[in-house]
Amino acid sequence: MLPLIAAVAEHGSKTAFYVAGGALACWAVLIGVIGVTRPAFPRGAGAARGVMAVSGVLMVAAMATAVITS
């Protein structure tokens, strides 16, 4: 993923950041809606780790693209 981000950043395009930031924002809204409508979300420890892992990957991608494309 990082080589792709670096290739986009070389051209001065902020598209990578917009995509990564948008994906993170959509994920946050989705998790918020699911969390409000289902009090037992996530149901198990494995599901909680999965949600945290996806959230972490999206956060790192948004941060990396923000720094690389600045």
Backbone angles phi, psi at 52, to 5 degrees: -65, -40
Secondary-structure breakdown of the chain: helix, strand, coil percentages, each rounded to the nearest 5: 80, 0, 20
Which pair of tokens denotes residue 18? 């917009």
pLDDT average per 10 residues of sequence, the chain (70 residues): 61 84 96 94 93 96 90
Which pair of tokens denotes residue 4? 């792709």
| Entry pTM | 0.79
**Domain map (residue ranges) of the chain:** 2-68
pLDDT at 15: 87
Asked if residues 8 and 15 have their Cβ atoms less than 8 Å apart, the reply is yes
**30 sits in which H/E element:** helix 15-37
